[in-house]
Structure formats: structure tokens, C-alpha cells
Chain A
């Protein structure tokens, strides 16, 4: 069975085989969540910032068509070429056409989850173009032949020893060296060469400003800038929801983004691209790929407010213990689980169920998306549209019958208690999903109903 036909539970099962690794993964991400808390608590007006950011994004969604047109006008005036892509296929073709026109066969790329969503790398490689991911974490997973498992920390699922092995194989570092400082330096030398040879650079976009036609790219490594400023052609790809109305609104978002993501006060570089440098070409590809449809779903549209900080990943008890790859989509975690079903309800029907609905994601979200409520609402939609797994449907039907028949309910309760008391192996086995990683509770001697009947005076 290949990875794409397995659902979240099956993939999480595979991840859970190595318990020590799961604990490590869990603790590492919780550490990032704690750094986020510390950073947020140092800003007294934090909650006001979240409210403000949320309201700005609500305004963006309500005027998105106007902002898109205004952005296009301004960017064009600034000398940027604006392209529109209805879907992933068109996006990939636009990028390829730009590269072909410029006779480029190598491209350096900084982090862009959109291009992961569109599977740009695979497409370009099929057409003979070498794509080099330049974010360290992305380079690691690219060399490993894997997708990123986290939108901010792409190789968070990998141990340093594994990265040492990958670098030994691909970059010729000494076998057995797993020192992060040493490995980062090796990547620096390797990628510097690529930057200097890159004729074209592709970057993502964190924010695009309708008022001025500029866009902002945030990195810690400086890889977006190294690529863009040395290349003759700069292509920036963005989902249409990345717009904000005015430049001054960046003040709000840049204060929230990195504090929410990693607990830093800001990324090392927050670069504002407005005009190409003399002799350079600058392109922007505005990508829809289902977003305009999503905008029409009243209950789910607010997920388009997302600024991709990944705070909801780091706090999620399910994400931390199941790993990013178990979500089988470009954007994993709680936010990915409410974005993905919009693209393909059947393929991603499992994701809204990959949650405990604890609500921690909504509590840390810097733009106040009601993530856990949307997870819950997606479940209803998916079941109504017939996308629930057969076993779950059967179990729900049985449960409905039991819960709506008092006598059946009481008999079932008595039977359950009897089984757990007298033949515990009937429930304490691998056939019972509740038994996985937990012990079944000790059954009470009687139910509350039975106790009440006895003691009622």
C-alpha cells in the first residue's frame, strides 16, 4: 500500500511504532510551544494584536476581489509582471514558461508551501529543470526524497544522526558526524555555490500589500534574499489570500508571526520587494487552487485568514504524537486538516477526525481562526456527504440505536461491565482501538442508575 492510500490513523500507527522517537518529537514541539508562550507574554497588548490581526484578515476576505485588482495595478506599475493561476497545474505551467523563456535549467527556491501544494518540484524535474531547495530543513528533506513534515520546521521529524547520514551521502561530509554546527556549515558551503550559479530564484510570499504592490518574505536563514538578489529572474508565488490592505498593517502581522511560530521577536530578515533591480525580472504568480471556492463556504472561509505560523501544529497533541507525514498533505496539523478537505473531500476525509477537539489550536492562533470548531463542523459535512469510513458509519449507527433505547442501553452497560470483570481479554486486545497505548479502566460494580435505584428512599 503506498502512502497516499493510507489514512491518518494508519500513518500515525507507523509513526508510533518507535515510542522513543514519538516522545522526542512530542517534547521538541512542546518546547517550541513554550517559547511561543514566553514571547507572547512579553507583549502586554498581545490579545489586542490577535483581535486586530483577525479583524484585518476578516476585512481582507470581505474585499478580496478589490484588493487583488489594486495589488495587480500597483505591482504592475512597480515593474513586476503579475500572473494568475486558477489551479496547481496552471501555476506550474506559468513557472515553467518563465524559466523556458529565459533558458534557465537550474532554479534555487526558498520556502514556499504553495509550491509544495502544487507539486512544483516534481513537475519541473520532469521537464528537466533542477530545483534546489535552499532552506536548510527543506534541503534535508529534498535530499531524503521526502516532503516537509512541518511548515516552519520542515525536517523536525529527523534526528541529527539521520541528517548526518544524508549529508554524508549527498554532500560528502565525514561519516558519523552529526554535529548541527558542522552540518549547517557544510550546507552553507554547498548552497552558496548554488546561489552563485542560480539564474532564477523562486520565493514564497508571507504578505502582499494591495496599497503599494510590494510583497514581504520572512526568513531566518537569509536564503530568500541570497537567491533573489543574485538571480536574473525572481518568481514569487502566493495564494490569493496572502493579501493585506496597507503596509502599516504589517506592523501587526510581523509582531505576531514569529512570536507565534518559534518564540523569536521577529525573523532575522523581513524583506520588502517592490521593484526589480535594474536588469532583473520580477514575477508574481497569484494562485487560486480552490481558495475562491473555499471563500464561499461560510463555516470554513475563515481558515483563509491563516498566516502559516504553525503555532497550531506545535500545540496539537495529535500532531506532536503522529508526525507531519501522517497528514498526507502539504500543510499538515490542525489548520491543514480544515484546509485540505476543501481541495478534495474524499481524499482528506480522515483529517478532521485527526483531532481531540481540545481547542488548543484555536487558543494559540494569532489570527483567531476557530480551528477546532471547524474540525467539528467538517466531520458533520463529511459524514453527510458519505465520506466517513464504513466501520465508523456502522459504529455510529449502532451507537444511535443503543443510546435511543433505554432498555438496550442498560443491558449493554451491564454486559460491558460483566465482560470487563469476568473476561477482560475480550476487550484488552488489539481488536479494540481504545486498548492501544492505554489500559482499560477497572469496571464499576454497578452503574449510577442501579446505585440510585437501590439507594432511593
Chain B
């Protein structure tokens, strides 16, 4: 008998009788919908608490000027936003992801953010290469200010909706979903040495999130 069959046989023999799956928080009594403004505030506060920074911006002109101000040393910038082509490489794909090793800054659009933990959901179609959000020295993500959900239950609801709407179809391959996707919450970090927090373990040393709000005026900033 193969190991597979042996394992499955023993598991089947030993598994306890049926236990019901519970309903998830928010399914029975929906969590009171928080106002967009509150979610945004919570998101920014959480992101700052985990070592990231956030800017509410009116558009790419503002994003460009902020990036130039805070990353003046960045020589190689890679992005999936054609709006940034003046300052960044914006190809769809690299033959060898290893060549991204000297990327100073990656600027990528993400789908949405989660207020309770400041995580941003990004699927591989928005990453240029899967390695890019991890290999770059600094990472900036762009989401729309209205695309912030309260918690992880809503987050997985959003992902399911996105799939249903064929959101992943442009990735190619079978099915209409991602082959790889991730939640990113803050800069890469470690506290393995005596619980001292150090930002920039293997991945980006900083994480900036731009929250797009077209109705906002840039006047009065800086």
C-alpha cells in the first residue's frame, strides 16, 4: 500500500465523528459598517504603529513629488504604474527576477487595505514579478482611499468578489484567480536578537502607502 493510502486509511479510521463548521464573525450579525473616514484613520494609525507611513494624495503628481523628496537617493525604481514612467522602469515582466536585486524602490498598485492590521492585498498581476515587493530596498503601495475594509473577514469577502468578477482573468493560465498573492503589513522586520525590533530584515526597509483621493486638494500640504 502506498504511503498516501496508508495515511488516508488511518486518518479515516481515527477521525472523530462529524463536527459542524461554525458561522464566521460578521456572517450572523454584520459588524456595524464603519464610516470610510474612520476606516482610513484606523488604517493610517495602525500602519504608523507597525513602522510604515501613509499619505493621502490627490494623484500621481503628488506621489511623484513625495517619492522624490523621501527617496532622493533611489537610482532604480520599478513600478507597474504607467503614470510614473518618467521616474521608474515600467515593464510588464522581467525574464530573470534576479536582475531586480538592485531595485531601490518598488511602487505598486495594490487592491485594498485592512484597517485592523494595515495589511494591503496585492496579487501577482500587480507585482511585475513575484519577487519584486520583497527584493526592493523600499516599497510603496497605492490604494484608493475608499478601498479600505475593516477586518480580515471583509478582506476575504472582497477577494472572493474579485474572483467572481473575473478579476484574475488577465493573469492567464487556468481559472480566474491569482497564482500568488500576499498581504503586506509594514516593512520587513525582525526582533530575533533579544526582542529588539529592527526594520529591514530581508525585504524592504520601509513601507509607504499612498491613499488616493481625487477629490482632495493638495493645497496646504507642505
Contacts and interface: CB of A to CB of B under 8 A. Distances in A.
Given A160-B193, A184-B190, A230-B97, A255 B129 contact: no
Contacts of A134: 202
B185 A265 contact: yes
Contacts of B153: 248, 251-252
Given A272-B180, A296-B10, 13 more contacts: A59-B19, A65-B15, A153-B192, A155-B193, A160-B193, A163-B193, A184-B192, A188-B200, A223-B202, A262-B191, A268-B187, A277-B180, A288-B3
Interface in B150-186: 151-153, 155-157, 159-160, 173-175, 177-186
Contact of A136 (B131, B181, B193): B193
B217 interface: no
B156 A250 contact: yes
A301 interface: yes
Interface stretch (A3-11, A83-91, A376-384): A83-91
A225 interface: yes
Given A77-B174, A160-B194, A277-B179, A188 B202 contact: yes
15 contacts: A32-B195, A51-B22, A55-B21, A56-B21, A64-B15, A65-B11, A153-B191, A159-B194, A196-B101, A226-B134, A252-B24, A268-B50, A271-B180, A274-B181, A275-B179
Contact of B198 (A62, A181, A270): A181
B152 A250 contact: yes
Interface of B: 2-4, 6-8, 10-22, 24-25, 46, 50, 97-98, 101, 114, 116-119, 124, 129-131, 133-135, 151-153, 155-157, 159-160, 173-175, 177-196, 198, 200-204
B185 A68 contact: no
The secondary-structure label for the interface of chain A is helix
Contact of A221 (B3, B21, B196, B201): B201
Nearest to A181: B198
A140 B192 CA distance: 9
Contact of B193 (A56, A184, A252): A184
Given A69-B8, A262-B191, A251 B24 contact: yes
A248 B130 CA distance: 23
Interface residues of A, number: 90
A336 interface: no
A155 B191 CA distance: 10
A118 interface: no
A78 B129 CA distance: 19
Interface of A: 28, 31-32, 43, 45, 48-49, 51-52, 55-56, 58-59, 61-65, 68-69, 77-78, 84-86, 90, 134-137, 140, 153-156, 159-160, 163, 180-181, 183-185, 188, 191-192, 195-196, 212, 220-223, 225-226, 229-230, 240, 245, 247-252, 254-255, 262, 264-277, 286, 288, 292-293, 295-296, 298, 301
A68 B156 CA distance: 22
A218 B98 CA distance: 23
A230 B96 CA distance: 9
Given A248-B160, A277-B180, A221 B203 contact: yes
Q: Which of B7, B13, B114, B156 has the most CB of A within 10 A?
A: B7
B111 to A, nearest CB: 13
A222 B12 contact: no
A270 B17 contact: no
A220 B192 CA distance: 10
Contacts of A250: 152, 156
Given A48-B25, A221-B202, A255-B151, A268 B188 contact: yes
B3 A271 contact: no
B6 A248 contact: no
Given A51-B22, A68-B11, A268-B188, A225 B203 contact: yes
A274 B178 contact: yes
A262 B124 CA distance: 28
B11 A86 contact: no
A156 B192 CA distance: 7
